[in-house]
């Protein structure tokens, strides 16, 4: 997969996602992404400008987002100049929640993303979050509680009941979102194999109430709202 940027006729800068024949995203996922994202528009979702299929290459053209993804910035090990204070982190959390609420409640049929994770949350110049990559998305009719499907997603973000039973509901996205919240608040990836074994899995640390010493070191103060966030983390 190659990401590039270009300029449209009206002067807008666009992100170009090129999937080669060897890409892990197959034709089915490519068509799913087009069908899902072309029909919806929301402040917290990426905007599809167009697509192209030429021989073995498949191309998607999206709005360009200046600040890459959460995995490259907030969770990228400090190799960037962005500063994520509590206000910014809360703004990102709320934005992702609004995007999911739109997919889950306002769109008919409902859309389950199935791959909510830090690398699929892109940030614009104002650090407004945009949910991206709808290749694994599933549609759930309003009159159905779930659909049975093959398990797809990313290790560490999969809801246990979905991973074990294959019954997909909107709750699968909510579980993934919960993992993402823990990452945003703590400033670290949910799985880090470079750490000692007892510290590699963030959710285990959260469940054991060890999140306090995992707060991002860039913070200069903890206000009442951040204390509220920490309190709620202890309820996991």
Q: Is the pLDDT of residue 188 over 60?
A: yes
For residue 142, give every residue at least 6 positions away whose Cβ sits within 8 Å of its Cβ, in sequence order, or none.
108, 109, 110
Q: Is the pLDDT of residue 156 over 80?
A: yes
For residue 152, give every residue at least 6 positions away whose Cβ sits within 8 Å of its Cβ, in sequence order, or none.
114, 115, 136
Predicted local confidence at residue 25, as pLDDT: 59
Q: Do domains 2-63 and 86-233 have the same CATH topology?
A: no
2-63 has CATH 3.30.70.2700 classification: no
SS3 170: coil
Q: Shortest CA distance to 236 belongs to which of 200, 203, 201?
A: 203
Global pTM reads 0.81
SS3 69: strand
Partners of 161 in beta bridges: none
What residues are labeled active site? 115
Q: How far apart are CA 177 and CA 117, in angstroms?
A: 7
pLDDT band for position 236 (cuts 50, 70, 90): very low
What's the CATH code, domain 86-233? 1.10.510.10
Task: Map out the domains of the chain as residue ranges.
Answer: 2-63, 86-233
Say how many C-beta atoms besides its own lie within 10 A of residue 137's C-beta: 20
């Amino acid at each position: 997969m190659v990401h590039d940027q270009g300029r449209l006729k009206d002067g807008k800068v666009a992100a170009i996602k090129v999937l080669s024949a060897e890409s892990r995203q197959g034709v089915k996922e490519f068509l799913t992404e087009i069908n899902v994202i072309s029909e919806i528009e929301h402040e917290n979702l990426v905007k599809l400008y167009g697509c192209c299929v030429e021989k073995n290459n498949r191309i998607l053209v999206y709005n360009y987002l200046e600040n890459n993804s959460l995995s490259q910035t907030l969770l990228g090990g400090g190799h960037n100049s962005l500063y994520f204070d509590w206000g910014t982190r809360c703004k990102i959390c709320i934005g992702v929640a609004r995007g999911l609420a739109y997919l889950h409640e306002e769109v008919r049929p409902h859309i389950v993303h199935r791959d909510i994770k830090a690398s699929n949350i892109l940030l614009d110049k104002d650090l407004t979050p945009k949910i991206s990559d709808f290749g694994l998305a599933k549609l759930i009719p309003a009159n159905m509680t779930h659909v049975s499907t093959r398990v797809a997603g990313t290790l560490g973000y999969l809801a246990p009941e979905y991973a074990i039973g294959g019954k997909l509901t909107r709750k699968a996205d909510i579980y993934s979102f919960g993992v993402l919240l823990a990452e945003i608040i703590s400033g670290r990836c949910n799985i880090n194999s470079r750490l000692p074994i007892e510290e590699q899995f963030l959710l285990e640390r959260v469940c054991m109430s060890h999140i306090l010493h995992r707060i991002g070191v860039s913070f200069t103060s903890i206000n009442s709202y951040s204390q509220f966030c920490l309190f709620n983390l202890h309820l996991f």
